[in-house]
Chain A
Amino acid sequence: MTTTVDEVLPYDEALAAFDPVMGLEVHVELGTNTKMFCGCATTFGAEPNTQVCPVCLGLPGALPVVNAMGVESAIRIGLALNCEIATWCRFARKNYFYPDMPKNFQTSQYDEPIAFNGYLDVEVPGEHGEEPWTYRVEIERAHMEEDTGKSLHVGGSTGRIHGAEYSLVDYNRAGIPLIEIVTKPLTGAGERAPQVARAYVAALRDLLKALDVSDVKMEQGSMRCDVNLSLRPKAGEPTSPEQAAVPLGTRSETKNVNSLRSVERAVRFEICRHAAVLSNGGSIVQETRHFHEDTGATTSGRIKSDADDYRYFPEPDLVPVAPSREWVEELRATLPENPAEHRRRLQTEWGYSDLEMRDVLNAGALDLIERTVAAGASAQSARKWWLGEPSRRANTEALELVAYADQVGLTPAYVAELQSMVDAKRLNDKMARQVLEGVLDGEGAPTAVADARGLELVQDDGALEAAVAKVIEGNPDVADKIRDGKVQAAGALIGQVMKEMKGQADAGKARELILSTLGEG
């Protein structure tokens, strides 16, 4: 199989000539215990085809029944996105043949979504000293649908169906509830379009997590993003009326972009690719594209054409969903605090400076810190630990901090435990760093690491007193200076005491003891 490498225009040149317009479609797997239209379990990673029944296998005669929890989650998501909630809406059948779709139609919503006309205000972090920026993402709709099964193409080199020897299908995923959240065309972002896209998906992820409706794990596919992008000629400032008057260009749709970083890169790449095509007098093909994490490039997938006719019609096996206004209001009352307001409240509570807060947000550490504080640590210590070694390592491995922590097993409870050992003077700062490294290296909980590595401050005052006495005796000159009131000279002695104690002593305590011994305490 040959792969054509697309030409790209440098980003700055692309933005000098064109104005990007984005549309983001995010699919979220709901965390309901059972599937959307049957009672099958939804546990991730089960043996293939063990969470199936006549309904989700599409056996002849089987009928769907709507999962009420799925509807509830959809409404809560809609409300949190400031949407209107339909008083009456239906499911529809989206008809097309594909082996991983048991009925050869997907039960979805078409022109009657459960939620529509909303928005999400997104804080776009400032880069290179820019001010943070609030961008309003207009939401077109959020609708309910079911996931398909999963095909595994065996043989061949690409892992795609083309060239495979045979394919295996796992229907465990078939029928898992999905919410698809579709934005209106996002204009006016200009050169910050890639950051806006990333910030939106991040904000959406935070929101869905706060709603507790999904585990929103992009790397496991429970949240997937399709990036639609088009360029139009630049006519003025991105937000200017002249620019808004320019018609939209032909779009490409990059499917299943599965991390925040990839969303940003995919938008950026497509801007540069479109710009190259358009600058050379070419035209954009309306097609789906695939994003490749390794190269940061997209490649051509399926050409979309007018022949894609899904023959939608209302699903006759289901009755309309008509949520009462009382129920909607009850659900509205259960909404958690809006993440932006939540952040503002936390910043005040924790006493972080704007700069500190920005670092925390950029590191994706807010939720981790919140949970660490909840586990008993101070806000400052929690920030210090998470933004230190774990962030550095996550960055090296090109992982989100949350994903990295998940991978190595570093939990907020562990960080709180680590800090409590420092507070209890079981560890000093240097030892605590060593313990943290042990945790990151997979050696277990902080207490276990400290025990295994023999890291513990000596609490035996006798040993410390003996060391102090020995050092004073060995440095009479320095001792005299201290006796004469030059307290700062104590530093030299403290270093030696710590050396005597092999580092396992509380430096503060050593200082106190030296001073009191020499009559300055």
Chain B
Amino acid sequence: MTNTTTDLTRATAAQLADLLAAGQVSSVEVTQAHLDRTTAVDEQVHAYLHVAGQSALAEAAEIDRRRAAGEPLHRLAGVPIAVKDVMTTVGMPTTCGSKMLEGWIPPYDATVVAQIKAAGLPILGKVNMDEFAMGSSTEHSAYGPTRNPWDLERIPGGSGGGSSAVVASFQAPLATGTDTGGSIRQPAAVTGSVGTKPTYGGVSRYGLVALASSLDQAGPCARTVLDTALLHEVMGGHDPRDSTSIDAPVPAVVEAAQRADIKGMKIGIVKELTGEGYQAGVSARFEESLQLLVDAGAEIVEVSCPNFRYALAAYYLILPSEASSNLAKFDAMRYGLRVPPTGIDHPSAEQVMAASRDAGFGDEVKRRIILGTYALSSGYYDAYYGTAQKVRRLIANDFDRAFETADVLVSPTAPTTAFRLGEQLDDPMAMYLNDVATIPANLAGVPGMSLPSGLADEDGLPTGLQILAPAMQDQSLYSVGAALEAALTDRWGGPLLDRAPDLTAKGA
């Protein structure tokens, strides 16, 4: 193996880990290669909001020193990673894609970030997202959109478009994401990458700037199922600082990804998540994947989840309600943006709060705060928030029943391939429909994964397949994901992302 920059950025995290362990490359070389790649392509992609080259190289050097000293290291030690800008990081800005937090440097690390640091993964920087994770395109970032490496005129998904684009453009082998209604899975689907939303409570939320506390879940983003599993293991586990964290060992996801064994497994197709409303190429790739799963020894069954049709409506009551309360803390009193109101000589605290919130929040955030404030208002609470919570219970019941007949469920991740930048900006409802297949998992707290299923014939853009498993059975996602990935890679004659355009040739 020649240690050219290109080779190192094309390698998977698992391959890099092996090279590092064997002493064939140093972490400094690997980290530098990814930083160089960012210099070469990120002007076009705009995945990063903050590149932390110096601290990443320092951490890489430290790992190299420790490795040379023979210290026991985590398997992923020295493999660099990008972090979604919704996670607090000591010494690095954390903006959540909002003007509200421009320049805010947190005094504490999110638990996930602390775990990444403890495992010795150099953090390359913070990646872009829709403002406070509200959106499916990263167009709602206050710092400009991220672009899809497959077609720079198209969206990379959202809210975690920075995370999907950074791995799909080979600027990082791994990235963290958060998924409230599909923000890991939908970006993975439209960029030809892999992402998992673990079981709710499987990964600590401490230090994740909350969007909707009962739905938010952090998870891993990568280019392969195994890499995703490796990062899942680093991120997961019980955290006493998060009351909703599950006090149980992380499911054996890496082992499942390595075994890729689905013989005799029952795979359920959710009737309500297929057919009408799905782009033809998306459906075609989905059907092909089902056949490959059968060929690998699985049995396909059909299940019905009738209440899924109410999921979107319930989601858009619960999410804005919780968000309206979570975002109340941004009041210009202690940190973040402070804008004095114009035309008032001695403004009151309330007037400063109002002016700052008006200046600091973007339209989509304001839209959801208004929605949520309304939904929680006395006299409306029962009809809106109360009813939405009942729907949530019904959706969980649908999952329970479906998992009585199927070990996992599958569907297309998103109804379409990546749409064009600006295409859905004036139509929030069209934007919200991108998450119709991913939202039920957040409402019920079950784990889900998206992995590439191919390219749509009509536009040559990536399509994604979603796998859903019962709560705390995250390893099932990896068994199925790895088996399908192996079959598809065989068919394609190599990873799908090898077919993505070469950004260095095209660019500048």
A: which residues have CB within 8 A of B? 54, 57-66, 93, 95, 97, 99, 102-105, 161, 167, 169, 309, 311-313, 316-319
- Least Cβ–Cβ distance between A90 and chain B, in angstroms: 12
Interface size on B, residues (CB 8 A): 45
Contact across chains for B350 and A97 when beta carbons are under 8 A apart:
yes
Contact across chains for A60 and B353 when beta carbons are under 8 A apart:
no
Contact across chains for B331 and A54 when beta carbons are under 8 A apart:
no
A37 to B110, CA, bound (A): 17
Give the residues in chain A near B328, CB-CB below 8 Å: 95, 97, 103-105
- Least Cβ–Cβ distance between A145 and chain B, in angstroms: 16
| Minimal Cβ-Cβ distance residue in A for B373 | A311
A-B CB contact pairs (8 Å), 5 listed: A54-B107, A93-B325, A95-B376, A311-B376, A317-B244
Flag B277-315 by CB within 8 Å of A: 1 or 0 each: 000000000000000000000000000000000000000
Give the residues in chain A near B244, CB-CB below 8 Å: 316-319
Give the residues in chain B near A97, CB-CB below 8 Å: 328, 331, 350, 353
CB < 8 Å: which of B107, B207, B214, B331 contacts A316? B214
| Minimal Cβ-Cβ distance residue in B for A58 | B329
Contact across chains for B107 and A65 when beta carbons are under 8 A apart:
no
Give the residues in chain B near A104, CB-CB below 8 Å: 328-329, 331
CB < 8 Å: which of A59, A161, A167, A316 contacts B213? A316
Contact across chains for A61 and B208 when beta carbons are under 8 A apart:
yes
Confirm or deny: B210 has a beta carbon within 8 angstroms of a beta carbon on chain A: yes
A318 to B508, CA, bound (A): 50
Confirm or deny: B361 has a beta carbon within 8 angstroms of a beta carbon on chain A: no
User: Known: A102-B329, A316-B214. Contact between A59 and B335, CB under 8 A?
Assistant: yes
Contact across chains for A61 and B106 when beta carbons are under 8 A apart:
yes
Confirm or deny: B243 has a beta carbon within 8 angstroms of a beta carbon on chain A: yes
A62 to B376, CA, bound (A): 23
- In the complex, the 7 A-B pairs of residues with the closest C-beta atoms, listed nearest first: A104-B328, A311-B376, A316-B213, A316-B214, A61-B207, A60-B209, A61-B88
A57 to B242, CA, bound (A): 16
Give the residues in chain B near A169, CB-CB below 8 Å: 333
A102 to B336, CA, bound (A): 13
Contact across chains for A313 and B243 when beta carbons are under 8 A apart:
no
Contact across chains for A309 and B377 when beta carbons are under 8 A apart:
yes
- Least Cβ–Cβ distance between A386 and chain B, in angstroms: 48
Give the residues in chain A near B104, CB-CB below 8 Å: 60
Contact across chains for B110 and A317 when beta carbons are under 8 A apart:
no
A215 to B433, CA, bound (A): 56
Contact across chains for B88 and A65 when beta carbons are under 8 A apart:
no
Give the residues in chain B near A58, CB-CB below 8 Å: 329, 334
| Minimal Cβ-Cβ distance residue in B for A96 | B328
User: Known: A309-B377, A311-B378. Contact between A59 and B240, CB under 8 A?
Assistant: no
User: Known: A95-B376, A313-B385. Contact between A63 and B242, CB under 8 A?
Assistant: yes
Contact across chains for A63 and B205 when beta carbons are under 8 A apart:
yes
Further contacts, 18 of them, CB under 8 A, given A58-B329, A99-B349, A312-B376: A59-B106, A59-B108, A59-B335, A60-B94, A60-B329, A61-B206, A61-B208, A95-B325, A95-B376, A97-B353, A99-B331, A169-B333, A311-B373, A311-B381, A313-B321, A313-B325, A313-B376, A317-B205
Question: Which of B87, B104, B348 has the most CB atoms of chain A within a 10 A radius of its CB?
Answer: B348
Flag B364-381 by CB within 8 Å of A: 1 or 0 each: 000000000100111001
Give the residues in chain A near B166, CB-CB below 8 Å: none
Give the residues in chain A near B377, CB-CB below 8 Å: 309, 311
Give the residues in chain A near B322, CB-CB below 8 Å: 313, 316
B: which residues have CB within 8 A of A? 87-88, 94, 96, 101, 104, 106-108, 110, 205-210, 212-214, 240-244, 321-322, 324-325, 328-331, 333-335, 348-350, 353, 373, 376-378, 381, 385
Give the residues in chain A near B88, CB-CB below 8 Å: 59-61
A379 to B353, CA, bound (A): 61
A54 to B114, CA, bound (A): 15
CB < 8 Å: which of B107, B242, B324, B349 contacts A59? B107
Give the residues in chain B near A63, CB-CB below 8 Å: 205-206, 241-243
Contact across chains for A103 and B206 when beta carbons are under 8 A apart:
no
Give the residues in chain B near A66, CB-CB below 8 Å: 243
A318 to B214, CA, bound (A): 10
User: Known: A61-B208, A95-B376. Contact between A318 and B329, CB under 8 A?
Assistant: no
- Least Cβ–Cβ distance between B31 and chain A, in angstroms: 26
Contact across chains for B378 and A309 when beta carbons are under 8 A apart:
yes
A312 to B324, CA, bound (A): 12
Contact across chains for B106 and A317 when beta carbons are under 8 A apart:
no
| Minimal Cβ-Cβ distance residue in B for A95 | B325
| Minimal Cβ-Cβ distance residue in A for B212 | A316
A167 to B352, CA, bound (A): 13
A422 to B448, CA, bound (A): 82
A226 to B388, CA, bound (A): 36
A99 to B106, CA, bound (A): 20
CB < 8 Å: which of A64, A99, A161, A312 contacts B333? A99
- Least Cβ–Cβ distance between B390 and chain A, in angstroms: 14
Give the residues in chain A near B107, CB-CB below 8 Å: 54, 59
CB < 8 Å: which of B206, B321, B331, B334 contacts A62? B206
- Least Cβ–Cβ distance between A40 and chain B, in angstroms: 13
CB < 8 Å: which of A54, A64, A65, A312 contacts B108? A54
A167 to B322, CA, bound (A): 30
| Minimal Cβ-Cβ distance residue in A for B349 | A99
Question: Which of B208, B244, B349 has the most CB atoms of chain A within a 10 A radius of its CB?
Answer: B349
Contact across chains for A317 and B213 when beta carbons are under 8 A apart:
yes
Contact across chains for B243 and A319 when beta carbons are under 8 A apart:
yes
- Least Cβ–Cβ distance between A387 and chain B, in angstroms: 50
A352 to B104, CA, bound (A): 67
A59 to B243, CA, bound (A): 17
Contact across chains for A167 and B385 when beta carbons are under 8 A apart:
no
Question: Which of B110, B325, B330, B350 has the most CB atoms of chain A within a 10 A radius of its CB?
Answer: B325
| Minimal Cβ-Cβ distance residue in B for A55 | B241
Give the residues in chain A near B101, CB-CB below 8 Å: 60
A232 to B240, CA, bound (A): 53
Give the residues in chain B near A102, CB-CB below 8 Å: 329, 334
A95 to B324, CA, bound (A): 9
Give the residues in chain B near A316, CB-CB below 8 Å: 212-214, 244, 322
| Minimal Cβ-Cβ distance residue in B for A317 | B213
- Least Cβ–Cβ distance between A155 and chain B, in angstroms: 11
Give the residues in chain A near B334, CB-CB below 8 Å: 57-58, 102
- Least Cβ–Cβ distance between B325 and chain A, in angstroms: 5
Give the residues in chain A near B209, CB-CB below 8 Å: 60-61
Contact across chains for B96 and A60 when beta carbons are under 8 A apart:
yes
User: Known: A60-B88, A60-B101. Contact between A65 and B94, CB under 8 A?
Assistant: no
A63 to B201, CA, bound (A): 13
A59 to B333, CA, bound (A): 11
Give the residues in chain B near A313, CB-CB below 8 Å: 321-322, 325, 376, 381, 385
